[in-house]
Amino acid sequence: MKKYTPLRNIIRTIAILFILIILSSKGNSQVTIGELQGHIKYLSSDALVGRLTGSPGDSLAAVYIKDKLTSYGLKPLTGDGFQRYKVTKRVTAGKSNSLSINGIDYTIDKDFMPFSFSSDSRLESEVVFAGYGFNINADSLKWNDYEGVDVKGKWVMILRGDPEPENSKSPYIPFSADRDKALLAKDMGAAGVLMVSGPLFDAQDVFEPLNLEGYSVDIPVLRIKKEVADVILSKSKNNVASLEKKLNDTKKPFSFSTMVSVNGKAEIVRELANTRNVEMVLPGEDPKLKDQYIILGAHFDHLGMGGPGSGSRALDTIGIHHGADDNASGVAMMLELAEKFAETKGSHKRSILCLSFSGEEEGLLGSKHFVDDPGIDLSKVNVMINMDMVGRLNEANNLQIGGVGTATGLRDIVYANTDTSIIKLSLSDEGYGPSDHSSFYGKNIPVLFYFTGAHMDYHTPTDTWEKINYKGMVEISDLIFKVAEKLADDSSRLVFKEAGPKEEANRYPRRKGMTLGIMPDFAGVIKNGLRADFVTPGKPAALGGMQKGDIIQFIDGKPVNNIQDYMFRMGQLKHGQIISVEVLRNDKKVVLVIQL
């Protein structure tokens, strides 16, 4: 027997080599619990301090992601693999803010503050008190604080809030936002606004932090303390407390000239920060299809230390918001899928483009920036697969997938590549949703959005790595790989289909009012206008001739410079009303007549 041993060893060695070759050629690289956990533990660690957009932790995350993709063999899509852009990180009052009444100068922070939506400008004029600053003409509610007073070119003093401060369902609430009141005052001819909180609305009379999202209304807007307002009102024998009580009791307008002049100036300073997307590509294996793409996407930013205005659900807690599920889980899955594609020969005739976005939590800023400056021909993208919060597969193994209606046959592909005895699917046709795939859907690109659902740790400091279901992530990764491989390898292209939104979706609170039936550009990419990123068939905008990409500049002759202007304008309209909408289309002005 011994004399046959060398031959047997040779045969055994050849057999092992053959098996290794077969394994390495198809599906040898597996997504593992250990690798997923390693990515998530780092990205959600204290060292990255919650990965706030534009912060050092955000930058460290971007470097980590790029370095990992580079180690798997991916190459930069352009340049060094980073797509850089700037975001507003802080809004502060400038040094030139001033307020003077009867020759007496008042102090910034102590007596007055500018609003973040104020313009940088000065005004010296008489002050007109205009109640709550309403001009409501609804069927069941009428109130016009501007009737019978001349506010043109003057300061207007307005009470904040509404006459029913204790009623959470008050019909006045949709008309009570500070910025809406300031924009209405401008529409009525005012050249500046002074806002004051009555004691029933805010007994503490504390200045809030300046809001990052305050698009300018193009006139100076100052918030003043009650004591300062009382000085302005003194000649009329009124004060803030008595006027608030009178308006609340009577539910009727009461406006008048104060016969006092105010000299005021507002200055807002917006501090910008640098951030970046990661964009790396694994070239396709087929010479004819390698210029087409499958996008694997996941955002890496989160809420930093939380706090007021951050989006944190733990409003009274300042602490690191680790964001293990949201969205270190999606990034980890994207990284592991990239590695698997790189090590699995014959898996991708098309190129695999891995995109990781910053700025998602602040309004899809990163993905919006990419689709507006992509560096590739977006018409050559077969599908964008977005992974956002994929780390909490529950005991019932329920996985939500959005966007299955955005291409013909996409739902069938998802089902055909899913073992539904392991994963229970909840499918949605719609291409719009609260994550980065929406930016691609708005560009006529089929999308899939993978999501394991919200939980009590969402947007709190307790979203930590040890709560992740890593076994579930491996199962989801296997499902996504099969679907992505099919879409990367099939010679036929997906055919895009519009699939929603069925109604106008937005990140801002809904106003009572009408809808045109569009998905607006929430990121504010366009200045001096609002772009319609999607126009829903059968809705007023579509029936009136609006097209995707139109930039709305005026509604009934009143300017629309941003999303907040648009929401305010729509909140003033009624069902059945016929309006004119001026849009910019391919650099040409077009006037549309639309019936709501």
DSSP letters, 140-191, are: S-EEETTTT---TTSEEEEESS-S-TT-TT-TTGGG--HHHHHHHHHHTT-S
Count of other CB atoms within 10 angstroms of residue 161: 22
Name residues whose C-beta falls within 8 Å of residue 40's C-beta, 6 or more positions apart in sequence: 324, 328, 329, 332, 391, 465, 468
Domain boundaries, the chain: 1-29, 31-90+272-489, 95-266, 518-595
Phi, psi for 477 (deg, rounded to 5): -60, -40
Closest CA to 282 of 376, 332, 378, 348: 348
Query: pLDDT at position 73, please?
Result: 97
Helix/strand number for the chain, H first, E second: 13, 25
User: Residue 52 forms beta bridges with which residues?
Assistant: 302
**DSSP-assigned letter for residue 264:** E
pTM of the full structure: 0.74
pLDDT digits (tens, 9 = 90+) for 243-301: 999 999 999 999 999 999 999 999 999 999 999 999 999 999 999 999 999 999 999 99
* Amino acid residing at 78: T
Chain Cα centroid distance, residue 362? 5
- Look at residue 213 and give its three-state secondary structure: coil
Query: pLDDT at position 433, please?
Result: 84
Query: pLDDT at position 213, please?
Result: 66
- Look at residue 337 and give its three-state secondary structure: helix
Q: Which CATH number applies to 95-266? A: 3.50.30.30
Count of other CB atoms within 10 angstroms of residue 22: 11
Q: Which two tokens stand for residue 185?
A: 């005052």
Alpha-carbon gap, residue 267 to 526, rounded angstroms: 23
Q: Whose structure tokens read 């008048």? A: 256
Q: Which CATH architecture best describes the domain 31-90+272-489?
A: 3-Layer(aba) Sandwich (3.40)
Query: pLDDT at position 20, please?
Result: 42
Alpha-carbon gap, residue 43 to 35, rounded angstroms: 13
Q: Which two tokens stand for residue 478?
A: 């296997």
95-266 shares the fold of 31-90+272-489: no
Whether the CB-CB separation of 300 and 326 falls below 8 Å is answered with no
Name residues whose C-beta falls within 8 Å of residue 427's C-beta, 6 or more positions apart in sequence: 400, 401, 402, 404, 411, 414
Whether the CB-CB separation of 403 and 430 falls below 8 Å is answered with yes
Question: What is the distance in angstroms between the CA of the first residue and the CA of the last residue of the chain?
Answer: 93
Ranges of the chain whose pLDDT falls below 70 = 1-28, 213, 315-317, 501-513, 522-525
Alpha-carbon gap, residue 535 to 549, rounded angstroms: 9
Q: Which CATH architecture best describes the domain 518-595?
A: Roll (2.30)
